[in-house]
């Protein structure tokens, strides 16, 4: 049994408005003053706008895995699988991030497990190496199902 849960980002935000305004402004400038395209700086600015749009599209139009639950263990984001037998306990915790308190589910590993931590797991400030977000970045029904699956495997 493999069940994958995905992040749910809200696409209508300030970044989208900013990108739309940049595109409108760029088109306005090109139509009103076509000679602006003579300058190489114009192409650098247009490339930056295009990169911003492409990164927005990557984040909001594609699915990004939050966790994959299997009978062997749980894989959080793109990290290696954390085996169920290596998890000692779970706890709900509030993490202060971006001037807000964010609830997360922390999977506490047993001591001296064989696991290759990546850079972000080692340097993730308030979040622990095995934190699952419980705030609005995850759909409520997915959050509840994920918590239930974790409880089934740990208890």
Burial class (CB in 10 A: 0-12, 13-18, 19+), 16: middle
DSSP of 65-79, one letter per residue?
Answer: EEEEE-SSEEEETTS
Tokens of 9: 């980002």
43-59 residue pLDDT tens: 999 999 999 999 999 99
Contact 92, 103 (CB under 8 A): yes
Q: What is the pLDDT of residue 128?
A: 85
Mean pLDDT of 128-150: 94
Q: CA 30 to CA 42: how far, in whole Å?
A: 10
Question: Domain-by-domain residue ranges, the chain?
Answer: 6-61, 71-154
pLDDT at 17 over 90: yes
* Residues contacting 52, CB < 8 A, separation 6+: 15, 18, 19, 22
| Nearest Cα to Cα of residue 83 among 13, 20, 15, 153 | 153
86-104 residue pLDDT tens: 999 999 999 888 888 899 9
pLDDT at 120 over 90: no
28-84 residue pLDDT tens: 999 999 999 999 999 999 999 999 999 999 999 999 999 999 999 999 999 999 999
């Amino acid at each position: 049994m493999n069940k994958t849960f995905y992040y749910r980002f809200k696409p209508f935000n300030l970044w989208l408005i900013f990108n739309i305004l940049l595109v409108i402004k760029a088109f306005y400038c090109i139509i009103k003053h076509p000679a602006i395209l003579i300058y190489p700086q114009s192409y650098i600015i247009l490339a930056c706008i295009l990169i911003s749009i492409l990164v927005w599209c990557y984040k909001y139009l594609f699915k990004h895995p939050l966790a994959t639950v299997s009978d062997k263990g749980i894989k959080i984001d793109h990290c290696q699988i954390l085996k169920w037998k290596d998890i000692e306990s779970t706890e709900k915790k509030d993490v202060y991030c971006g001037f807000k308190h964010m609830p997360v589910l922390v999977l506490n590993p047993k001591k001296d497990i064989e696991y290759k931590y990546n850079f972000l797991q080692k340097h993730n400030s308030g979040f622990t190496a095995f934190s699952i977000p419980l705030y609005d970045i995850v759909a409520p029904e997915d959050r509840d199902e994920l918590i239930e699956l974790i409880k089934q495997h740990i208890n």
